[in-house]
Amino acid sequence: MGSTKELAAYLRYLQSEELAEGTIRIYLKEAESLTEYLSGREVTKDIMVEYKNRPALSNCSVTTRNLHIAAANRYLKYISHGDCMIAALRIQRKQSLEDVLTIEEYRRLLEYAKESGREKYYMILRTLAMTGIRVSELKYFTVETMKKPAICVRNKQKTREICISQKLRSELEKYCRRNGISGGIIFRGRNGEPISRIAVYKMLVRLADMAGIEKGKVHPHSLRHLFAVTYMEHYGNIFELADLLGHSSLETTRIYTRNTARERGQKIDRLGL
């Protein structure tokens, strides 16, 4: 099991599933690690439990360890050893939202980006916050799609439509005209490829530092959180929000219906007990 030929076949299989490149790299690396760990031994449930609890992962977070487990299970299923799949570690679900970027902080980021002449940063902030998209979905924003009522996005083997407000559409069209972007992807990196998640992360950290905002609150997903929290505060429709965010389960969306611990404490204080 696990020869170079078999791993190459697994790579082709992952590519045929149309998974993201980053996901493929994670799955393939885990398959290689599992192959090395087995060293020719037969796959058994006991060995897989040992693999799950190996010392190399002892200092990793639960989330990271579960990522390794999911990748290992994917390979086990591929090689017809689904009966040896291992259970993920349980994560206690948070009952409140903490360290969420506020509207005021978002506006400070926008203000600094505009005043410092970072128009590209400004428009990326606007696009992420006004649509709730993932950073990886920025590549679907093209000059051509701006002429359509919605953008069709394929991500994580699911297809959905991203609705764009007329306000954002107008801002993006003006941005393209000012910067001579006549066709194709609007937000690109220095190499001409779609801007990467790492580049957006560095951009946000730089803006947060200059705007005096806690860096831990500013990351690519924080603007998706901001969109979701703001939408729930205004409309309170979890079904619509799940559809807008592309969630297949309401449980994923339900976190945005919760208050922060501080807000809950304030409500309890107002009980007058």
Per-residue pLDDT tens digits for 199-247:
998 898 888 888 888 887 888 788 888 888 888 878 877 788 777 787 7
Contact 161, 153 (CB under 8 A): yes
What confidence score (pLDDT) does residue 156 get? 59
Q: Using 50, 70 and 90 to split pLDDT, how confident is the model at 136?
A: confident
pLDDT level of residue 162 (50, 70, 90 thresholds): confident
Q: Quick one: pLDDT at residue 95? A: 44
Question: Looking at residue 2, what is its pLDDT?
Answer: 53
Please report the pLDDT score of residue 106 as a whole number: 92
Token pair in block for residue 246? 């592309």
Q: Per-residue pLDDT averaged across 79-94, rounded?
A: 80
pLDDT digits (tens, 9 = 90+) for 171-181: 999 999 999 99
pTM score, whole prediction: 0.60
Read off the pLDDT of residues 20-75 as tens digits, 9 standing for 90 and up: 677 888 899 999 999 999 998 999 999 999 999 998 888 887 768 888 898 999 99
pLDDT at 74: 92
Q: CA 255 to CA 108: how far, in whole Å?
A: 25
Q: Is residue 179 within 8 Å of residue 123, measured between CB atoms?
A: no
Cα separation, 249 vs 253, whole angstroms: 7
From CA 264, how far away is CA 96, in angstroms rounded? 8
pLDDT at 41: 92
CA-CA-CA-CA dihedral for 64, 7, 48, 76, to nearest 10: 90
- Which pLDDT band, with edges at 50, 70 and 90, does 19 fall under? confident
What is the predicted pLDDT for the residue at 262? 55
- Across all residues in the chain, what is the average pLDDT? 84
Name which of 82-86, 99-103, 152-156, 199-203 the model is least confident about.
152-156
Q: Give pLDDT, residue 93.
A: 47
Q: What is the DSSP string of the chain?
A: ---HHHHHHHHHHHHHTT--HHHHHHHHHHHHHHHHHHTTPPP-HHHHHHHHT-GGGTTS-HHHHHHHHHHHHHHHHHTT-GGG--PPPP-PPPSS--SPPPHHHHHHHHHHHHHTT-HHHHHHHHHHHHH---GGGGGG-BTTGGGSSEEEEEETTEEEEEE--HHHHHHHHHHHHHTT--SSBSSB-TTSSBPPHHHHHHHHHHHHHHHT--GGG-SHHHHHHHHHHHHHHHH--HHHHHHHHT-S-HHHHGGGGSPPHHHHHHHHHTT--
